[in-house]
Amino acid sequence: MFWIFAIASIFAYVIQGTLMAKYVRKMDALSAGFYRNLSFFITLLPLLYFAPLEKIVGIQFFWFPILTAGLLGALAQWLANQSLQILPLGIHTAIGTALNIIFSAIIAWFILGQTLSIIQILFMSIIILGGAFFTLHKTHFPHLDPSKWMLGMIYRLLGSLVIALTFVLVAKVSIELNPLVSGYFWEIAIAIFSFGLLLARKMITGQPIAKVSPKMFGMIALVCSPTLIGTGGFVLASKLGPVSIITAIGTLGIVISALLSWALYKEKLSVSSWIAFSVIILGIVGLNIWGGPIA
């Protein structure tokens, strides 16, 4: 079940992330993140339906890690959206996934005491190499300004560091309380802190929140609804296995994202990108078959 939850989570997150890119590029990064998570008040409610009432009430005893994860999640989402406005979607996804693997493994080691075997590290390294090769050889992006790519890389680096810490905090609450409850309140906390950051920005700079029509908000809610599967799958998987392995599996999202961005945003795949595809799949299959027990 660990692998089913983890892979379902990755597919759902990549689909919503790819479709949401259209709206992120139409408004400022912070407003886009706020509207995304605001829709989760309703679309993620089914997570609580499958959770025991005492676990839902028990979230009050985990307010500090959930609120901390919410604040960090809001910051990470803003950084990621800033990067997405600058970088091609495939590069944005590939760099973020590779960095998440590294940061999650380090943080999970220090906070959760989760260790990896030599064979798991080997196949994770293969996945990272495939992602790096894919990033370096993906071309044909005439609709974006390459002079800003370094800034986009910096945003992605910082965002990956923050989100890795956030994932570990949510995983800790999932283990100690309930994964579905922690997932729902984490996403809601992100919405609350995103709104707080928007208010602070308005007071400091005068820049208001981006206005959207009811139709656009409805579309944002629709394209983000797969997060129900993404968040539910992640928190359930995190209760069954190491966060670093979940993140490594997430490298598959590079391939899915690249194919969707090719179809939706005309970002073509080169021959070298298909080579990277094969390396990534090799690493994921090896991690699945020969990676040893998930503990």
pLDDT at 16 over 80: yes
Give the per-residue pLDDT at 258: 77
The pLDDT tens digits for 70-110 are 999 999 999 999 998 887 787 777 777 767 766 776 776 67
3-state secondary structure of 43: helix
pTM: predicted TM-score of the whole model, two decimal places: 0.78
The pLDDT tens digits for 236-260 are 787 777 766 776 666 677 777 778 8
Planar angle of CA 90, 95, 97, nearest 5 degrees: 95
- Listed residue (4, 24, 75) closest to 294, CA to CA: 4
The pLDDT tens digits for 114-173 are 666 777 778 778 877 776 676 565 555 666 666 777 788 889 889 988 988 888 788 888
pLDDT at 295 over 60: no
- Whether the CB-CB separation of 30 and 197 falls below 8 Å is answered with yes
CB atoms within 10 A of CB 251: 28
Count of all residues that appear for the chain in the document: 295
pLDDT at 294 over 50: no
- Whether the CB-CB separation of 138 and 267 falls below 8 Å is answered with yes
Would you place residue 111 in the very low, low, confident or very high pLDDT band (cuts 50, 70, 90)? low
Query: In whole angstroms, what is the distance from residue 115 CA to residue 109 CA?
Result: 6
Give the per-residue pLDDT at 112: 61
Would you place residue 293 in the very low, low, confident or very high pLDDT band (cuts 50, 70, 90)? very low
The pLDDT tens digits for 47-75 are 898 889 999 999 999 999 999 999 999 99
Would you place residue 34 in the very low, low, confident or very high pLDDT band (cuts 50, 70, 90)? very high
Tokens of 293: 């027990």
Residue of higher predicted confidence among 101 and 9: 9
Greatest distance between any 2 Cα atoms in the chain:
55
pLDDT at 231 over 90: no
Residue of higher predicted confidence among 293 and 211: 211
Mean pLDDT of the chain: 82
Give the per-residue pLDDT at 35: 96
Query: In whole angstroms, what is the distance from residue 208 CA to residue 226 CA?
Result: 28
Tokens of 3: 């692998």
Rounded to the nearest 10 degrees, the angle between the axes of helix 271-290 and helix 252-265 is 150
